Amino acid sequence: MEDKALEIVLDVKVKVTVQLGSCMLPMREVLELSPGTVVQLNQHASDPVGLYANDKLIAYGEVVVVEDSFGIKITELVGSVPGA
């Protein structure tokens, strides 16, 4: 019974997001953003990025390049993720 209940949700799509970093900017600077503007984030290039499922942090990873696309390599699972 439990396996059947789990099967129902295994194909449900969730929004997966990678957060590279963030910063706080005054609204004046946000309004002045234009193509070519560099926004400095509060994260170092060597720091892990966060992987979120529906806005909940589930893992950390390293940014990788696969052919011509970006991806992340999972380095640490967070909390009680099934299969962890």
What does the pLDDT look like over 38-79, one tens digit per residue?
Answer: 999 999 988 999 999 999 999 999 999 999 999 999 999 998
Identify whether 61 is part of a domain. yes
Q: What is the pLDDT of residue 84?
A: 46
φ/ψ bin of 57: left (φ > 0), alpha (ψ from -120 to 50), beta (otherwise)? beta
Identify whether 6 is part of a domain. no
Identify whether 41 is part of a domain. yes
The total domain count for the chain is: 1
> What mean pLDDT value characterizes the chain?
90
- Report the Cα–Cα distance between both ends of the chain, in Å, rounded: 23
For position 65, which CATH number holds? 2.30.330.10
Give me the percent of the chain exceeding a pLDDT of 70: 92
Give the range of the structural domain holding residue 31, as residue numbers without chain letter. Answer: 13-77
Identify whether 3 is part of a domain. no
Span 17-37, pLDDT tens digits: 999 999 999 999 999 999 999
Residue recorded with tokens 């600077």: 29
